[in-house]
């Protein structure tokens, strides 16, 4: 009934009446996302009628009302097939100021029309394959970049930037070819990075270092939304950057990483918005070549270094480990480097673990990022080792029991999701410089068995990557407890009585044969398969492992 009345007025053609009836329709259906199939034909005709009104010279307020209703109707995929034509797309491009190459955004009265047109385009492109094809034909990505350049330094048009960026994100998501066009032809990487700089109001103090005001106000909701859309668009533009990284791109990636460092150190208007902002920053950092991530940490200034020395002198002399990391003026300092951004990433990771759900989508990106940073940058690895795996003192509890970051990560090593447990184990392994003995000390053999089996390290040793040879220092408490630590569980256990001590030799032989028969039965019924270690440390059926060792022994004896 609403569509029939609106269609009648729209066809009548009087601008004032059209505006009133469409405003009423918009107010009534603002939250409507599911439509009755019986009125589908009427909604198609209403869309066609609205496009006919938009080509006429009608007041701005009438245009806004038309576009608001069109935005609501475009949520229904079924009605878009007949109305998604090249002519109708060009009408929306004109209203969104995407056709004028030299036209500046001076008329504030036109801003609502531009914003509503961009919203309509977002819905139509997302819901219509025909519109997606037309967007390629009309070179929509280039037009959107041109509009961004007009408004990148103007804060009072954040809504225009926000929906321009959202549409750019959708195009680059739905068409992989557009990613390459944005990256190289349209110079999307520096353009979108500048949009982020503008949203964060960054003031550079060095080539890759920005001024951080810890007492400053949070980002406004509009700036936060704009930054989030820019981060999502940048993610699509750089999604394959780890594969092809030219030396000439290094500077641009470092600038982007420095902007993302700034992003991690500021907050949004709400806690949820801050988490969303940081989550998108983490995703984008995962696309940055690891060699460029050194800008996440920066050396202290001379003044900060002097303050750090004073703070270190104030610590008691016996707190050797604690002297490495100092918190002062809200700044996390380690080994003369500012570690604020890495500390934020660590806290973000812990919050995602505490959520207890959606680990693959929410946790693995930040864990993977911290793992690669630790593998490539020594100072980051040592700082994270200090925070996650501090020197062991109390080993009375199992490694997975407790509320520390170490306990939480060890619990993830036996998670049901293979990807989650692999990346959690890999992170801890890298912090231990890929040394098996060091990993077992913090996790126990039982928790680490999956990783070691996959890496062929069940017999011990270390991984393939090279790390500095600085030695771990064990505490006196750990050294005293070490002889009584259960290597499988990784914690201190009271000596248990040996059940066979009071058996006679005949009883021991009987129990041993009983066990052998049980294992033989399980093996013959293929419920259990005896396994052994090959010379390279990987698991294989026991017979094959024994054969390989026999071959090695024969070869060795022949050589002698």
Question: Between these two residues, 300 and 178, which has the higher pLDDT value?
Answer: 178
For residue 387, name the pLDDT band (cuts at 50, 70, 90): very high
Average pLDDT over residues 71-80: 91
**pLDDT of 351:** 95
- What was the pLDDT predicted at 320? 42
Percent pLDDT > 90 in the chain is 54
pLDDT beyond 50 at 317: no
Per-residue pLDDT band at 468 (split at 50, 70, 90):
low
- Token digits for 216? 């400053």
- Residues 290 and 288: their CA atoms lie apart, in Å, by 6
pLDDT band for position 318 (cuts 50, 70, 90): very low
Predicted confidence at residue 285, as pLDDT, reads 96
Q: How far is residue 193's CA from residue 154's CA, in Å, rounded to a whole number?
A: 15
56-67 pLDDT tens trace: 989 999 999 999
Contact present, 424 and 448 (Cβ < 8 Å): no
Per-residue pLDDT reduced to its tens digit, 128-169: 999 999 999 999 999 999 999 888 656 558 889 999 999 999
Tell me what the mean pLDDT of segment 290-303 comes to. 83
Given a cut of 60, is residue 347 above it in pLDDT? Answer: yes
Q: What is the pLDDT of residue 528?
A: 80
| pLDDT tens-digit series, residues 2-23 | 788 888 888 877 888 998 999 9
- Measured N-to-C along each axis, helices 364-376 and 418-431 cross at an angle, to the nearest 10 degrees, of 30
Distance of CA 131 to the CA centre of its chain: 30
- Averaged pLDDT, 27-43: 88
Residue 308 has pLDDT above 60, yes or no: no
Question: Mind spelling out the 3-state secondary structure of 347-397?
Answer: HHHHHHHHHCCCHHHHCHHHHHHHHHHHHHCHHHHHHHHHHHCCCCCCCCC
Report the 10 Å Cβ neighbour count for 273.
18
276 — pLDDT class (breaks 50, 70, 90) = very high
396-432 pLDDT per residue, tens: 899 999 999 999 999 999 999 999 999 999 999 999 9
User: Does 323 score more than 50 pLDDT?
Assistant: no
Q: What is the pLDDT of residues 447-459, one digit of tens each?
A: 999 988 888 887 7
Q: Is 125 helix (H, G, I), strand (E, B) or coil?
A: helix
Rounded Cα distance, 299 and 537, in Å: 42
Here the tokens at position 245 are 């990284």
Question: Given this model, what pLDDT does residue 549 score?
Answer: 66
Residue 275 pLDDT greater than 80, yes or no? yes
Q: pLDDT: is 454 or 86 the higher one?
A: 86
pLDDT at 478: 83
Task: Name, in order, each residue with C-beta under 8 angstroms of 32's C-beta and a sequence gap of 6 or more.
Answer: 72, 75
Element (H, E) at 533: strand 531-533
Q: Distance between CA 147 and CA 143 in Å, rounded?
A: 6
pLDDT for res 481: 83
Type and span of the H or E element at 302: helix 302-314
123 contacts: CB under 8 Å, gap ≥ 6: 71, 74, 75
Please, are residues 325 and 334 in contact by the beta-carbon 8 Å criterion? yes
């Amino acid at each position: 009934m609403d569509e029939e009345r609106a269609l009648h007025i729209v066809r009548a053609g009087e601008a004032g009446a059209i505006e009133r009836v469409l405003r009423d329709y918009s107010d009534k259906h603002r939250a409507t996302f599911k439509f009755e199939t019986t009125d589908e034909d009427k909604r198609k005709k209403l869309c066609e009628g609205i496009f006919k009104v938009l080509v006429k010279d009608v007041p701005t307020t009438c245009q806004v009302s038309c576009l608001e209703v069109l935005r609501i109707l475009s949520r229904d995929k079924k009605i878009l097939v007949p109305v998604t034509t090249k002519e109708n797309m060009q009408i929306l491009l004109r209203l969104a100021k995407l056709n004028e190459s030299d036209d500046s955004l001076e008329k504030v009265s036109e801003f609502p029309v531009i914003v509503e047109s961009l919203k309509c385009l977002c819905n139509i492109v997302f819901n219509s394959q025909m519109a997606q094809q037309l967007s390629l034909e009309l070179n929509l990505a280039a037009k959107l970049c041109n509009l961004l350049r007009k408004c990148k330094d103007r804060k009072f048009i954040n809504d225009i930037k926000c929906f321009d960026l959202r549409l750019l994100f959708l195009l680059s998501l739905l068409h992989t070819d557009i990613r390459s066009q944005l990256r190289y032809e349209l110079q999307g990487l520096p353009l979108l990075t500048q949009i982020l700089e503008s949203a964060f109001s960054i003031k550079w103090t060095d080539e890759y270092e920005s001024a951080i005001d810890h007492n400053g106000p949070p980002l406004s909701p509009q700036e936060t939304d704009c930054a989030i859309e820019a981060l999502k668009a940048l993610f699509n533009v750089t999604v394959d950057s780890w594969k092809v990284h030219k030396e000439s791109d290094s500077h641009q990636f470092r600038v982007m990483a420095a902007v993302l460092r700034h992003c991690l150190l500021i907050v949004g208007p709400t806690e949820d918005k801050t988490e969303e902002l940081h989550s998108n920053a983490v995703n984008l950092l995962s696309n940055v070549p690891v060699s460029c991530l050194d800008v996440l940490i920066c050396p202290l200034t001379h003044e900060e270094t002097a303050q750090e020395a004073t703070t270190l002198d104030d610590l008691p002399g016996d707190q050797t480990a604690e002297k490495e990391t100092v918190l002062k003026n809200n700044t996390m300092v380690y080994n003369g480097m500012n570690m604020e951004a890495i500390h934020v990433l660590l806290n973000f990771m812990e919050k995602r673990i505490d959520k207890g759900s959606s680990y693959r989508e929410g946790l693995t990106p930040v864990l993977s990022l911290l793992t690669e940073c630790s593998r490539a940058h020594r100072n980051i690895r040592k700082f994270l080792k200090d925070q996650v795996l501090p020197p062991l003192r109390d080993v009375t509890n199992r490694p997975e029991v407790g509320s520390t970051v170490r306990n939480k990560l060890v619990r993830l090593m036996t998670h049901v999701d293979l990807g989650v447990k692999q990346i959690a184990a890999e992170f801890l392994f890298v912090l231990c410089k890929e040394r098996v003995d060091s990993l077992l000390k913090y996790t126990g053999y039982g928790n680490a068995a999956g990783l070691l089996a996959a890496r062929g390290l069940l017999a011990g040793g270390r991984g393939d990557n090279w790390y500095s040879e600085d030695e771990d220092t064990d505490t006196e408490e750990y050294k005293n407890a070490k002889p009584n630590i259960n290597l499988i569980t990784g914690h201190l256990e009271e000596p248990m009585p040996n059940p066979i001590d009071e058996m006679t030799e005949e009883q021991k032989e009987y129990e041993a044969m009983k066990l052998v028969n049980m294992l033989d039965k399980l093996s013959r019924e293929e419920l259990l398969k005896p396994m052994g270690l090959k010379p390279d440390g990987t698991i294989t059926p026991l017979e094959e492992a024994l054969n390989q060792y026999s071959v090695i022994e024969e070869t060795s004896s022949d050589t002698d």
